[in-house]
Structure 1
Amino acid sequence: MDQLLHLDRTLDELDPPHWAAPAADATGLVRKVHELRRVPLGALEPADLRTLISQQVALLYVLPLAVRLLLEEPLLDAYFYEGDLMLATVNAPASAWTLFPDLGTRLRAAITALPETDVARLPRGAAEDLARFVTRPETLR
């Protein structure tokens, strides 16, 4: 989790190039992502991490932060519903996880330890997303 050493720095500093201001007609989501790139990593909230991961922005830096939270509280309600950060995280591209095999292993263990009743309360399709992440072939981990 070397990326956790840079909690005082922003994604614009760590993940070049620096992003220009969004276009005047940019959507709220685009504006939000641009804004989040200027926030120090240590100040990013769970909802911010969910947004960045869902938009596949700077996964090298945000995935370790999300996993750190998820290992403590796997079904953390970041913004929309219980488990939303977990689902965004497991749906990150397989290529991003190749950078963090140890984090992927630890997250798989946390998912496997979830009670079935907790998984059953997640939105439709969530159990399949979790299972797909847990059983992903080794070559894609």
Structure 2
Amino acid sequence: MDRLLHLDRTLDELDPPAWAPPGSDATRLVRRVHELRRVALGELGPADLRTLVSQQVALSYVLPLAVRLLLDEPMLDAYFYEGDLLLAAVNAPASAWDMFPDLRTRLRTVITALPDTAVAVLPRGAAEELTRFVAQPESLH
């Protein structure tokens, strides 16, 4: 199924069951993730995608959207700093990437082409995270 065909639908619709409202004691992050599950995929911005990918919510839907942005602008500043969406994506579990081997390959190519000056502005440890992602073996599935 092409997950980009469902841009007019929400994660609560596409990734059942729909989540119940967060508890009154929920953190701001938890409340935000619950809100984002009720937003149409096509309306999710880079910061929204970074939040959902970082929290590993419905990766089968949000990871392709994030990669689509990253292929055009790998060092996109989604919310915190240049490259924050990229780092969220490369830290998604390997099992999520196994669903999208072609996207993983395309993102690896983009990462490999990043100039050292771009990687140098990322937080400490980010270069190692990028190297680990590029070096991950392809899925055996």
1:138 to partner: Cα distance: 2.3
Quote the offset at 1:12 in angstroms: 0.2
RMSD: 1.3
The residue that corresponds to 2:74 in the other structure is 74
What residue identity is the alignment partner of 2:20? A
Instruction: Give the unaligned 5+ runs of structure 2.
Output: none
Q: 1:140 to 1:33 in 2, by over 3 A?
A: farther
SS in 2 for 1:82: coil
Offset, 1:140: 7.2
The one-character-per-residue Cα deviations of 1:63-115 (angstroms, maximum 9, x if unpaired) are 00000000000000000000000000000000000000000000000000100
Structure 1: tracts of 5 or more residues without a match: none
Instruction: State whether residues 101 and 138 of structure 2, in contact with CA within 8 Å, keep that contact through their aligned partners in structure 1.
Output: no
Indicate the residue corresponding to 1:42 in structure 2: 42
Give the alignment's TM-score, normalised by structure 1. Answer: 0.97
Judge conservation of contact 1:94–1:140 (CA < 8 Å) in 2.
no
The answer to whether 1:94 aligns with 2:102 is no
Give TM-score scaled by structure 2 length.
Answer: 0.97
Please state if 1:104 is matched with 2:88. Answer: no
CA distance in 1, matches of 2:140, 2:59: 16
Q: For residues 136 and 26 of structure 1, what CA distance do their matches in structure 2 show?
A: 35
Deviation of the 1:21 alpha carbon = 0.3
* % identity of equivalent residues: 79
Aligned AA (1:115):
P
Contact 2:111/2:134 (8 A) holds in 1: yes
Aligned residue pairs, count: 141
